[in-house]
Amino acid sequence: MYIKQAFNVLHEWWRYLVGFIIIFLASQIGTIPLILAVMSKKLSDDESIFSIDENEVLTTLSSNLTLFLMLLSFAIGLLGVYLVVRYLHRQRFVTLTTSRKKTDWGRVFFGFALITITTLVVTGLDYYSNPEDYVLQFDLVPFLILAVIAIIMIPLQTSFEEYLFRGYLMQGIGVLAKNKWLPLVLTSVIFGTLHLANPEVDKFGNIIMVYYIGTGFFLGIMTLMDEGMELALGFHAGNNLITALLVTADWTVFKTNSVLKDISEPSAGFDVITPVLILYPIFLLLMAWRYKWRDWGGKLFGKVEEPIVITEENNENSTFIE
């Protein structure tokens, strides 16, 4: 039902193409404040603005200001998603979120709590097992500023990614391809490959794409099995928020005033793919038990059939055959 309900709105292929372009442009417009801020800072330091590389963009400003301006582009992108869905497709935003009559916030909070508790436990165990790998860098004022920025902006960032990939593109590709496996595969692969620009790729190598693409599949499976994005919205927000507040490293995309700093030399081995091979299957089984998921084959690989409208002569009513 989650994908099929897109048949009830304007769903021609060109609308999804135009919509994706609008959303992309909106997110790029959102990067302008960060670029202008970096240029202004370099000019004030009497430095050239014509040789700014990616590393300078991330290090020229304070970490909290950089984080806010980075996340601003996602917030503008999320606004673009809303406007495209509402006015180009004439679709209610709740039907992009879920097949239920209204958003199930209990599911959102469950997904959030699941990854938050897991991250706290795993990080705590690693900290006490390998204290030499961490530096306690807690500084109250910068941390409080970080907390305000992160609590407000990170859910907007993760919601943009979820509404774009598990929502807009999942439904759009699904109604065009009329199946469920193709949108699952395409959105997961695109989601993962868009992280190629992250500094973690330079540190770990291409093997980390297993994690990024695997995470895309995990969130996509979660969405299709639960017939809605609520669990994915909560999980993604919890993952990024607790990571930004709890631990940072010089090689991460979010360099924050977090509680801990990881100074270890990470290895691009089993640690990178452990979440995909072990944790994600456990999470899916736990959700399947809690929410009584059934028919995995049909939910993940079944057809998406357009309702057939039969109009009888002299009858103002139409019968919809599912």
Structural domain contains residue 48: no
**199 burial type by CB count under 10 A (0-12 exposed, 13-18 middle, 19+ buried):** middle
Structural domain contains residue 103: yes
Q: What is the pTM of this model?
A: 0.89
Query: Is the CB of residue 114 less than 8 Å from the CB of residue 283?
Result: yes
Q: pLDDT exceeding 70 applies to what percent of the chain?
A: 89
Report the chain's mean pLDDT, rounded to a whole number.
88
Q: How many domains does the chain have?
A: 1
Q: Which residue did the predictor score with more confidence, 306 or 277?
A: 277
Query: Is the CB of residue 247 less than 8 Å from the CB of residue 258?
Result: yes
Q: What confidence score (pLDDT) does residue 33 get?
A: 92
Structural domain contains residue 272: yes
Report the DSSP pairing between strands 247-248 and 134-136. Answer: unpaired
Q: What is the mean pLDDT of residues 268-287?
A: 87
Strand partners, 321: 308
Q: What are phi and psi of 251, to 5 degrees?
A: -105, 10
Structural domain contains residue 167: yes
Structural domain contains residue 26: no
Q: What are phi and psi of 273, to 5 degrees?
A: -100, 0
Structural domain contains residue 33: no
Q: What confidence score (pLDDT) does residue 322 get?
A: 40
Structure tokens belonging to residue 309: 């409208």
pLDDT band for 48, please (50, 70, 90 cuts): low
Report the amino acid identity of residue 13.
W
Q: What confidence score (pLDDT) does residue 313 get?
A: 46
Q: What confidence score (pLDDT) does residue 306 get?
A: 81
Among 66-75, 202-211, 298-307, the range scoring the smallest mean pLDDT is: 202-211
Structure tokens belonging to residue 217: 């599949």
Q: Is the pLDDT of residue 177 over 50?
A: yes
Structural domain contains residue 90: no
Q: What confidence score (pLDDT) does residue 274 get?
A: 84
- What domain range is 180 assigned to? 98-321
Per-residue pLDDT of 164-173, as tens digits, reads 999 999 999 9
pLDDT band for 57, please (50, 70, 90 cuts): low
Q: What is the mean pLDDT of residues 216-236?
A: 97
Q: What confidence score (pLDDT) does residue 319 get?
A: 42
Structural domain contains residue 268: yes
Per-residue pLDDT of 120-175, as tens digits, reads 999 999 999 999 999 999 999 999 999 999 999 999 999 999 999 999 999 999 99
Per residue, the 3-state secondary structure of 212-262, as one string, reads: HHHHHHHHHHHHHHHCECHHHHHHHHHHHHHHHHHEECCCCCCCCCCCEEE
Q: Is the dihedral of CA 42, 43, 48, 51 positive or negative?
A: positive
Q: What is the mean pLDDT of residues 273-281?
A: 90
